[in-house]
Amino acid sequence: MTDNDAISTSERKRGSGVKMVYDLLRDEILDLVLPPGSPIDEVQLAERFKMSRTPIREALVRLAGEGLIDTLPNRSTMVSNIDFLNMHTFFDALVLMYRVTTRLAAQYHRIEDLQVIRGHQAEFAAAVAAQDALAMIATNAAFHSAIADAGRNAYFTGLFNRLLDEGRRILRLYYQSYEDRLPQRFVDEHEDIIAVIAARDTEAADRLATIHAEQIVQQIQKLFARGGKLNIAL
């Protein structure tokens, strides 16, 4: 029960309510503020945001469309679970999208894209230097998302961003273990990836992205094998 996210009722612009609820709920789900299985109560949200149930429901329909919440008809709706049993399907998809988007970035990027990518890389390096695990997760995702954008294929960027979101949820479960030496290696690999993209070397981009992605996957799998404790209450 945090205090009010609500704006004085009629101070709000006419279609902004839905987006506000959608964005905030999405963040709370991905940050595990609302852990998997949390019940979503429409009237509670309506009171919290000081609006009627209609815009709340629209936001929920959108979230359900992205698979972030599950709605059983005439029954409660709740934050969707993380499918640990089929985690390998997530890894398969993630590695492939890392490869494909990086390859396409090498092929289709424009010069101005590199500026954006380098900006995210700088933020990622700063997060590593500061040993801020949550910032690492966020800036790493932004870095790779920017690369995907440079590849200019909306179908791939769409799936990739979904995967990065899901990865954000998974990593939140284990982020304390990101304090070892590996992140510095990621920084270096990012630099190499930027270089081959700038050189438009598609094969090298594919190769480096594959290695990089598999390293990340191994990192996560190691955490699972170690049976890492969740540091967020479920």
Partner DNA sequence: TGCATAATTTTTGTCGACAAATAATATGCA
Partner DNA sequence: TGCATATTATTTGTCGACAAAAATTATGCA
**Rule CB under 7 A: which residues touch DNA?**
9-10, 13-18, 40-43, 51-55, 57-58, 71, 73-77
- With CB under 8 A as the contact rule, the residue among 61, 195, 199, 232 that binds a second copy is 61
Q: Per CB under 8 A, does 58 bind a second copy?
A: yes
Choose between 46 and 96: whose C-beta lies nearer to DNA: 46
| 10 is a site residue for a second copy (CB under 8 A) | no
H helices then E strands: how many in the chain? 9, 3
Contact call for residue 81 and a second copy (CB under 8 A): no
Q: Are 47 and 7 in contact (CB under 8 A)?
A: no
Cα angle for residues 48, 80, 58 (degrees, 5° grid): 45
Of the candidate residues 96, 116, 135, 198, the single one contacting a second copy (CB under 8 A): 96
Helix (H, G, I), strand (E, B) or coil at 91: helix
CB of 19 to DNA, least distance (A): 8
Burial 200-225 (b: 16+ CB within 10 A, else e): ebbebbbebbbebbeebbebbeebee
Q: For residues 114 and 165, give the distance between their C-alpha atoms in angstroms, rounded to a whole number.
A: 23
Residue number with CB closer to a second copy (15 or 227): 15
Tell me whether residue 20 or residue 117 sits nearer to DNA (CB atom): 20
Q: Is the dihedral of CA 70, 171, 128, 157 positive or negative?
A: negative
In the complex with a second copy, the residue whose CB is nearer, 81 or 231, is 81
Buried-state track 30-65, b at ≥16 Cβ within 10 A, e below 16: bebebbbebebeeeebbebbebeeebbbbbbebbee
Nearer to DNA, 7 or 134 (CB): 7
Contact 189, 208 (CB under 8 A): yes
158 touches a second copy by CB under 8 A: yes
Binding region for a second copy (CB under 8 A) out of 118-126, 157-165, 177-185, 220-228: 157-165
Q: Does 89 bind a second copy (CB under 8 A)?
A: yes
The Cα 106–Cα 198 span in angstroms is 7
Give dist(CA 178, CA 187) in Å, integer.
13
What does 189 interact with, of a second copy, DNA, none (CB < 5 to 8 A by kind)?
Answer: none
Q: What residue ranges bind a second copy (CB under 8 A)? A: 14-15, 54, 57-58, 61-62, 65-66, 73-74, 86, 89-90, 92-93, 96, 100, 104, 152-156, 158-159, 162-163
